[in-house]
Amino acid sequence: MLHADNVVKSFGALRALDRFTLDVAAGEIVGLVGHNGAGKSTFVDVLCGLVRPDSGKVTIGGRPPRAARSDVGVAPQQIALYLSATAREHLRLFGHLAGLRRRTLATATDEVVDALRLADFLDQRVGLLSGGQQRRVQAATALLHRPRLLLMDEPTAGADPQTRQSLLTALRRRADAGTAILYTTHYLPELADLGATVAVAQRGRIIARGTSEHLLDGLPGTVCLRTDGAEEVRMRTTDPARTLLSLLANARGEIHEIDIHKPSLDDLYHSLAG
Amino acid sequence: MTDSLRRIAALTRHNTILRLRDPGPFLSYLVMPMVVMLALQPVYRRAFPDGTIQIATGMLVIFSVLALSIVGTATLTERSWHTWDRLRSTPVTITELLLGKMLPVYAVLVLQQSILLVYGITILGMRPSDTYWLPVVAIAVWGATLLAVGAALAAVVRSHGELSAITDIGALVLTTLGGAFVPTTTFPHWLQAVAPASPGYWAMRMLQAALRGDVPETLAPALVLLLVGGSAAVFACWRLSRDWGRATMV
């Protein structure tokens, strides 16, 4: 669905994207992670048609980004809403701009209102809503027209757990229905909740790409043993079973607690991005 | 209706709602000139042969230029709310976006000028000629010029404060130079020579000629203003179609 091949974009002396290559298939959720300045938001801007790459090729459903805008739903990193308009007015505006007519717009509105639980504040002005509620309205404008590609740029930044959960559930459902989703975040456990594959960006390029299991394979986890006679013993290891047996054999006193931490996406991110 | 017209209609409706929710600037630029016209009319009638026309058209021009801030704010707010890039991420084109954005603001400008003109006729006793279509043309042209200049201004300023400073200073300088306070014939010679550099000068000439029913004297300044407005519109479109939304906002 989304194909980006060796995309380069510079802003003056700063090379924001440096041979950035990424594919997202229909029904796939790709978690794009990386430090601030890794090129994630610039890549999203390229996909939105807001920034023209210096070189490389980007297609969405086989078309260049500007021609494919009706196939794309965007939830930008910053809140981008009219503070004096209501949530319903936003949905009407973005629905019409996406080409939805009366009946389909009404159906689509009901669907996102239900999925993101907007009913309680649908007719309130957005400027009076909490940050989490604004996030939900913003996500709703992206989901409304059932786009084939969803670009979610840190959509849960500053959101409460309830907002986060309702959004993740809605996205998972969309992916199950065939929507390709590019999801940038700094909050890596969300990607596990979404069942997303992972792409790690650093200095404008993708340095690792695959499923969580594939990328975590070979990374060290942690084995932790607590006894009443000794202090806590903690070891990083790629072979937790053997390490645990070794720790147990050498342990003195009664064993109170054993913890085995598998490597997480945080560990992966830190090992790759430094 | 084509998809393009539907998108323009959706944007126009949305922007009309936004304008209606913020009526303060419009009301102040409507009430203030009415009060000033009423207070100064006796002085102007004594001072100038066409004193009533001078005060009515002068205040109309001054306060319609001040209303540039409405045009500028309408555009600049899109940037401070980050909605400009959001809209550009949809299938809407830059032309559709500007039309949908500007049509309600144009309606505000035309409404303001029309009400002030009707006020001048009904309350101040101004006597226009029978050629009623001429003032309509004049208001339409002056509104379009202001709209384009306001959009161009909004495309270059970096903050609402900057916009406010430029519109306030610019409005007073340009309208004074254009003869909105007193006729340019009362200016020193060197200032009379400079006056045509101000769009306010052409607006005053056009409006006063329209009220007299002088067709050629109305249309000639109208052409000058359309040229100014057209240039500003081209600049605004060019600037806004680039990475304006991502530009630094103070």
Do A134 and A177 share a domain, yes or no?
Answer: yes
Structure confidence by residue, pLDDT tens digits, B211-243: 999 999 999 999 999 999 999 999 988 887 776
Instruction: Please tell me whether residue A135 adopts helix, strand or coil conformation.
Output: helix
Q: What are phi and psi of A237, to 5 degrees?
A: -155, 150
Size of interface A-B (CB pairs under 8 A): 73
Mean pLDDT of chain B: 90
Residue A271 lies in a domain: no
Instruction: Give chain A positions within 8 Å (CB) of B3.
Output: 99
Evaluate if residue A125 carries a pLDDT over 60: yes
Do A202 and A231 share a domain, yes or no?
Answer: no
Structure confidence by residue, pLDDT tens digits, B42-52: 999 999 988 99
Instruction: Give chain B positions within 8 Å (CB) of A97.
Output: 7, 10-11, 87, 90-92
Do A152 and A126 share a domain, yes or no?
Answer: yes
Are the beta carbons of B90 and A80 separated by less than 8 Å?
no
User: Does any CB of chain A come closer than 8 Å to the CB of residue B11?
Assistant: yes
Best mutation target among A70, A79, A82 (most B Cβ atoms within 10 Å) is: A82
Structure confidence by residue, pLDDT tens digits, A85-104: 999 999 999 999 999 988 99
pLDDT score recorded for residue B248? 45
Best mutation target among B4, B82, B86 (most A Cβ atoms within 10 Å) is: B86
Evaluate if residue B244 carries a pLDDT over 70: no
Evaluate if residue A186 carries a pLDDT over 90: no
Query: What does DSSP assign to residue A238?
Result: S
Cα of A169 to nearest chain B Cα, Å? 24
Task: Name residues 131-150 of chain A within 8 A of B (Cβ).
Answer: 141
Are the beta carbons of A50 and B91 separated by less than 8 Å?
no
User: Does any CB of chain B come closer than 8 Å to the CB of residue A45?
Assistant: yes
Residue A151 lies in a domain: yes
Q: Given pLDDT bands bounded at 50, 70 and 90, which one contains residue B249?
A: very low
Do A210 and A223 share a domain, yes or no?
Answer: no
Instruction: Give chain A positions within 8 Å (CB) of B17.
Output: 85, 89
Evaluate if residue A274 carries a pLDDT over 80: no
Do A98 and A113 share a domain, yes or no?
Answer: yes
Residue A274 lies in a domain: no
For the whole model, what pTM was predicted? Answer: 0.83
Do A257 and A145 share a domain, yes or no?
Answer: no
Q: What are the C-alpha distances in Å from A80 to residues A4, A238, B182, B244, B248?
A: 26, 45, 46, 15, 16
Are the beta carbons of A48 and B88 separated by less than 8 Å?
yes
Do A134 and A239 share a domain, yes or no?
Answer: no
* C-alpha gyration radius of chain A: 22
Instruction: Give chain A positions within 8 Å (CB) of B9.
Output: 96
Do A184 and A237 share a domain, yes or no?
Answer: no
Residue of B nearest to A138 (CA): B86
Query: What does DSSP assign to residue A217?
Result: T
Residue A270 lies in a domain: no
pLDDT score recorded for residue A260? 84
Residue of B nearest to A44 (CA): B89
Taking Cα atoms as reference points, which of A120, A125, A92, A116 lies closest to residue A106? A92
User: Does any CB of chain B come closer than 8 Å to the CB of residue A192?
Assistant: no
pLDDT score recorded for residue B142? 95
Do A239 and A172 share a domain, yes or no?
Answer: no
Residue of B nearest to A70 (CA): B91
User: Does any CB of chain B come closer than 8 Å to the CB of residue A52?
Assistant: no
Supply the ipTM of this predicted assembly: 0.83
User: Does any CB of chain A come closer than 8 Å to the CB of residue B6?
Assistant: yes
Instruction: Give chain B positions within 8 Å (CB) of A82.
Output: 14, 18, 81, 83
A191 is in which domain, residue-wise?
2-215
Do A129 and A223 share a domain, yes or no?
Answer: no
pLDDT score recorded for residue A43? 93
Instruction: Give chain A positions within 8 Å (CB) of B92.
Output: 97
Domain count, chain A: 2
Greater confidence (B198 vs A77) lies with: B198
Do A96 and A224 share a domain, yes or no?
Answer: no
Residue A102 lies in a domain: yes
Of A50, A51, A98, the CB nearest to B91: A98
Do A107 and A204 share a domain, yes or no?
Answer: yes
Evaluate if residue A111 carries a pLDDT over 90: yes
Structure confidence by residue, pLDDT tens digits, A218-257: 788 888 888 776 677 888 888 888 888 888 887 777 888 8
Task: Name residues 214-233 of chain A within 8 A of B (Cβ).
Answer: none
Give the CATH number of the domain where residue A95 resides: 3.40.50.300
Summarize the confidence of residues A180-193 as an average pLDDT: 87
Residue A269 lies in a domain: no
Task: Name residues 38-97 of chain B within 8 A of A (Cβ).
Answer: 81-83, 85-92
Instruction: Please tell me whether residue A209 adopts helix, strand or coil conformation.
Output: strand
Distance between start and end Cα atoms, chain B: 40
Residue A9 lies in a domain: yes
Cα of A11 to nearest chain B Cα, Å? 12
- The type of residue at A171 is L
Residue A256 lies in a domain: yes
Summarize the confidence of residues A25-50 as an average pLDDT: 90
Are the beta carbons of B6 and A83 separated by less than 8 Å?
no
